[in-house]
Structure 1
Amino acid sequence: MSSVRIFVECTLAIIKPDAVDKEAEIEDTILQSGFNIVQRRKMLLSPEQASEFYAAYSGKLFYPSLTAHLCSGPLVAMMLTRHAAIKQWNELLGPTDSQKAKETHPKSLRAIYGTDKIQNALHGSDCFNTAEREIHFMFPNVTIEPFPADQAAVDYLSKFVNPTLLIGLTEICKRKPADPIIWLADWLLEHNPNSPEVKEGEVKEPPECTF
């Protein structure tokens, strides 16, 4: 049987030095929230590497403090996957400023584990392009398949999405549920062909970091 590569959104998560002592607890929350940890490495960045990672913020007043904190001790970098991983991870993180997060999103990870805007416990990519760059920075040997665009997107939907949707719509006609929209949403979640094939509890460990 031939295998088909199905796109699953990826994002980068970092447990910063100020929260590394809670890494087991945080990783358990990540898994319970529906994410898969497909790559993980613990490392210590040099000041030059931290500056390169946060290069987009160069020139900002907080840039020196931001980079200094990132290389102040060991951190844990993780590549996470799931549907809408970038959006879901940032929602779980909460506001960048941990003090604000404690007021507006008290159950968020930054509210629970962070202290302020710099020591905010965790990092998350803000968009697909950023996630791609940051994942390659932390995991140079990982290949990320970009989501197809234009005609390629039409072909992708026709080949992988429409067949599943058609089956679901056929089931609706047969079962005639009271709330067809909710029923279809639940059915698609249960029969999602995009679910990553990662065994429960499995974490792929790359070779020891040489940084």
Structure 2
Amino acid sequence: MTGESEEKITMEQPSIYVEKTLAIVKPDAINKSEEIEDIILRSGFSILQKRRVHLTPEQASDFYAEHYGKLFFPSLVAYMSSGPILALVLARDNAIAHWRELIGPTNTIKARQTHPDCLRALYGTDDQRNALHGSSCFSNSQREIRFFFPDSIVEPVAVGQAAKDYLSRAVNPTLLKGLTQLCKEKPGDPVLWLADWLLENNPNKPQVQEYAVEES
């Protein structure tokens, strides 16, 4: 997309976290969405959520608010609200960098010259209608995922020792309290009782700002 940074992506060593990023199949490539999903899966990503929507001009303006005032902004909004899109939450190690590497340079014409195998070179139309979007950084991925999936928890998912440390610090103390109370109460349906208790006493409830997105 015109105006997005085109800095070189440096691949990092695999981390202990599974990172999430937002991907969008734009109106000019929506008829190729099944092919693109297949490439995504074969490239090592998991698709956690997906949603087909048709943005209004107001919603497209909100999503691209960081580009407000730039010369290309009106045509960008018109393009992104011209037809249905597919929003996907992707996950893998270093998902943001890997996805931006896979889709290639912002300008489709440049992509065909320098990265002929990237997705924008294969599915894009011109310098602005470039088929695909990818979050540029972690903070943008958080905002963009919540725009389309308001109930999502987008923090990186810990694995291995990091997961054990998280459970020990943030989950086990609450679970222990719940199990202790369960033993005292001795309810008829202990599983349902514990589930309700955990919902009521969860100290880690996310507070997510909601964005309205119109379904196609």
* Aligned residue number for residue 61 of structure 1: 71
- Provide the C-alpha distance between the structure 2 equivalents of 1:139 and 1:157, rounded to a whole number of angstroms: 24
1:38 corresponds to which of 45, 48, 51: 48
**Structure 1 contact 20–75 (Cα < 8 Å) conserved:** yes
**1:102 and 2:112 aligned:** yes
Q: Which has the larger radius of gyration?
A: 2
The structure 1 segments of at least 4 consecutive aligned residues displaced by more than 6 Å after TM superposition are none
| Percent identical residues | 54
Q: Which runs of 5+ in 1 are unaligned?
A: 1-5, 149-154, 161-207
**1:112 and 2:122 aligned:** yes
**Structure 1 contact 7–145 (Cα < 8 Å) conserved:** no
**Structure 2 contact 27–84 (Cα < 8 Å) conserved:** yes
* Aligned residue number for residue 17 of structure 1: 27
Mean CA deviation greater in 32-41 or 6-15: 6-15
1:85 corresponds to which of 95, 98, 123: 95
**Structure 1 contact 41–209 (Cα < 8 Å) conserved:** no
Alpha carbons of 1:143 and 1:158: their partners in 2 closer, same or farther (altered >3 Å)? closer
**1:49 and 2:59 aligned:** yes
**Structure 1 contact 42–209 (Cα < 8 Å) conserved:** no
* Aligned residue number for residue 177 of structure 1: none
Deviation, 1:146, is 5.2
Deviation digits for residues 46-98 of structure 1, max 9, x if unmatched?
00000000000011111111111111000000000000000000000000000
TM-score, with structure 1 as normaliser: 0.68
- Provide the C-alpha distance between the structure 2 equivalents of 1:83 and 1:132, rounded to a whole number of angstroms: 16
RMSD between superposed Cα atoms in Å = 2.3
Which residue identity lines up with residue 61 of structure 1 in the other structure? L
Taking the TM superposition and a 5 Å limit, the aligned residue runs for 1:153-172 are 156=162, 159=165
**1:143 and 2:153 aligned:** yes
SS at match of 2:58: helix
Which residue identity lines up with residue 27 of structure 1 in the other structure? E
Which residue identity lines up with residue 126 of structure 1 in the other structure? S
Which residue identity lines up with residue 40 of structure 1 in the other structure? K
Which residue identity lines up with residue 24 of structure 2 in the other structure? I
Which residue identity lines up with residue 30 of structure 2 in the other structure? V
**Structure 2 contact 17–93 (Cα < 8 Å) conserved:** no
- Provide the C-alpha distance between the structure 1 equivalents of 2:104 and 2:215, rounded to a whole number of angstroms: 32
TM-score, with structure 2 as normaliser: 0.66
Which residue identity lines up with residue 42 of structure 2 in the other structure? Q
Deviation digits for residues 104-139 of structure 1, max 9, x if unmatched?
000000000001121100000000000000000011
